[in-house]
Amino acid sequence: MCGIVGIASHEPVASLLYESLIHLQHRGQDAAGILTSDQRFYVKHGLGLVRDSFTSDNISSLHGNMGLAHTRYGTSGGYSEVDVQPLWVGSPRGIALAHNGNLVNYRALADELRSVKHRHLNSSLDSEVLLQIFADSLHDARAEDDEAFFQSLVKAIHMVHERVEGAYSVVSLIIGRGLIAFRDPHAIRPLVFGERKNADDKSDYIFASETTPFYALGFEPKGDLAPGEVAYVSLSGKLYRQIVTPRVFTPCAFEYVYFARPDSTLDEVSVYRARLRMGQNLAKRWMAAFPDVLPDIVIPAPFTANTAALSFAHELNVRYSEGLYKNPFIGRTFIMPNQSTRSRSVRHKLNPQRTEIENKKVLVVDDSIVRGTTSREIVKMIRECGAAEVNFVSTCPPIVDPCFYGIDIPSRKDLIAATHTHEEIERYLGVDRLLYQTQDDLVEAITRRGVAFKRPCMACMDGKYVCGGITEEKMKQLEKVR
């Protein structure tokens, strides 16, 4: 999972890209990069948070009215600066690319590029393989007018769709041509776009992982790229769009559960409203399962569970309390690099409020239980503050399978619901009662208002990998690599 953004503007875009990354920081905190273009590429990469990777001086050195930016959360590749996006190649033309997702057949494609195409791969990123394949597919594109080039681009994207398996939302720049954005045929990873009208009635365009930067930069949301769609903004500012290779529309459910910011709208679904409905559905399930158990307070595991906890408390007519204060300067523990770091950082970032907890029957609402590490530490902290009872609910169903499409859920052995029974999880967490959202209730919460897809990708919950080709043997290979 990463955050990507591409902007085509009438003015220099470096500062706009920087601001966009600030609004996408929650999608990755390993590294960040900005690339801009006029007749050449200007690039700045850095490790760590966006604010630590750039200065006003190096932002001002990034020239051009078109550009890409990326904030990294590594699910493949290493952790050195060579593995930071955007990436670029100089042949067959200057092409740059930033990618969000994971390629399932990355190893086979990389081996083919090395042995058949005799290409040197400079990083361990699957994004570099995607860049090489995209560049290769454009090799025969003729330098004609914009309309003819767009048709060549459509053919090239179709070749990418036919060869590349997995999840990929992409923004790209081609020197002398313009800005490109495209999405995989199942549209697993999000890609939204917006428009900003100028005084001369011409438009600037933005393509991004979420709508979060749009308001601050003055862009009006215009929707999402469809499954298998490509969009192209020429140097003259004209927008071209075409659906190339549509398949079953299955956007990632975990975006709505956890990853996206609540003020985002993805694939016509308000993340905030979806989380309200998750809490509502879960509360009804709680009342059915435990009709005689009413907590004194409902506490969210901040911040991603706040919205669901609010509607959960409302449905039960119980007081909502922010009994855990979160230090906003500590990163997201889910994307910390290892288990011990996650356990330690939970206590660094969360402080329980004894006055809200002591002698009370507490119900904690969390967005999900993946490894169980964070949940267990939260329960310990609440117990230490004298809670009379601790119940725990998850707005996400049990996570029992790895994700190969861009979420850091690498192996079954790391997933508590895949290796423990419900009763064993209750004992491990140290809770009086545990309740998970059902899969049907999660789907209903996401799709209630009528959307273009029937069921999101829930492979980590139901084992149904939408791209196919994930056998037990393949799964073991991919788990070993990661």
User: What does the pLDDT average to over 275-301?
Assistant: 98
pTM value is 0.93
Q: How many residues make up the chain in this entry?
A: 482
How, if at all, do strands 95-103 and 178-183 pair? unpaired
Q: Is 263 helix (H, G, I), strand (E, B) or coil?
A: coil
pLDDT category at 481 given cuts 50, 70, 90 is low
pLDDT category at 206 given cuts 50, 70, 90 is very high
How, if at all, do strands 203-208 and 192-197 pair? antiparallel
CA distance 392 to 398: 13
User: What does the pLDDT average to over 271-300?
Assistant: 98
Cα–Cα nearest to 272, from 262, 258, 261: 262
| Residue given tokens 């402080």 in the structure block | 351
CA distance 462 to 443: 12
CA distance 322 to 128: 43
CA distance 303 to 420: 27
Return all residues near 65 (Cβ < 8 A) that are at least 6 apart.
Answer: 8, 9, 10, 11, 12, 13, 38
- Whether residue 364 is predicted with pLDDT greater than 60 in this model: the reply is yes
- Whether residue 197 is predicted with pLDDT greater than 90 in this model: the reply is yes
Q: What's the helix, strand, coil split of the chain in %, to 5?
A: 35, 25, 40
Q: Is 288 helix (H, G, I), strand (E, B) or coil?
A: helix
The percent of residues in the chain predicted with pLDDT above 90, rounded, is 81
pLDDT given for residue 131 in this prediction: 96
Residue 362 tokens, joined: 């507490």
| Residue given tokens 């590294």 in the structure block | 31
| Residue given tokens 């959307």 in the structure block | 451
CA distance 361 to 323: 12
pLDDT category at 123 given cuts 50, 70, 90 is confident
- Whether residue 140 is predicted with pLDDT greater than 80 in this model: the reply is no
Cα–Cα nearest to 130, from 70, 198, 53: 70
CA distance 289 to 291: 6
User: ∠ CA(406), CA(412), CA(415), 5° rounding?
Assistant: 90
pLDDT category at 121 given cuts 50, 70, 90 is confident
Residue 86 tokens, joined: 């955007």
Domains of the chain, start order: 3-247 (3.60.20.10), 267-481 (3.40.50.2020)
pLDDT category at 339 given cuts 50, 70, 90 is low
Average pLDDT of the chain?
92
- Whether residue 337 is predicted with pLDDT greater than 80 in this model: the reply is no
Lowest-pLDDT choice from 72-86, 350-364, 402-416, 422-436: 72-86
Note whether 24 and 32 are within 8 A (CB).
no
pLDDT given for residue 431 in this prediction: 98
φ/ψ of 246, rounded to 5, equals -75, 140
pLDDT category at 143 given cuts 50, 70, 90 is low
- Whether residue 346 is predicted with pLDDT greater than 80 in this model: the reply is yes
pLDDT given for residue 390 in this prediction: 98
Residue 275's alpha-carbon distances to 251, 281, 423, in angstroms, are 16, 10, 26
CA distance 256 to 366: 13
- Whether residue 1 is predicted with pLDDT greater than 80 in this model: the reply is no
pLDDT category at 348 given cuts 50, 70, 90 is confident
Cβ neighbours around 197 below 10 Å, total: 12
pLDDT given for residue 473 in this prediction: 79
- Burial of residue 268 (CB within 10 Å: 0-12, 13-18, 19+) is middle
Q: Is 163 left (phi over 0), alpha (psi -120 to 50) or beta?
A: alpha
Could you tell me where the DSSP H helices lie in 91-213?
106-115, 126-137, 146-163
Tens-digit pLDDT profile for residues 3-29:
999 999 999 999 999 999 999 999 999
Note whether 53 and 70 are within 8 A (CB).
no
pLDDT given for residue 46 in this prediction: 94
pLDDT given for residue 61 in this prediction: 96
Q: Is 187 left (phi over 0), alpha (psi -120 to 50) or beta?
A: left
pLDDT category at 220 given cuts 50, 70, 90 is very high
Residue 40 tokens, joined: 């050449």
Note whether 125 and 76 are within 8 A (CB).
yes
377 sits in which H/E element: helix 373-384
Note whether 127 and 97 are within 8 A (CB).
yes
pLDDT given for residue 69 in this prediction: 98
Active site residue 2: yes
281 sits in which H/E element: helix 271-289
pLDDT category at 42 given cuts 50, 70, 90 is very high
pLDDT given for residue 139 in this prediction: 81
- Whether residue 452 is predicted with pLDDT greater than 90 in this model: the reply is yes
φ/ψ of 384, rounded to 5, equals -65, -25
Q: What is the DSSP string of 18-58?
A: HHHHHHTGGG--SEEEEEEESSSEEEEEEES-HHHH--HHH
Return all residues near 481 (Cβ < 8 A) that are at least 6 apart.
Answer: 76, 107
Catalytic residue among 2, 252, 403, 467: 2
Torsion from C-alpha of 37, 41, 46, 48, nearest 10 degrees: 40
pLDDT given for residue 386 in this prediction: 97
The percent of residues in the chain predicted with pLDDT above 70, rounded, is 95
Higher pLDDT, 341 or 226: 226
C-alpha atoms less than 13 angstroms from C-alpha of 186 in its C-beta half-sphere? 23
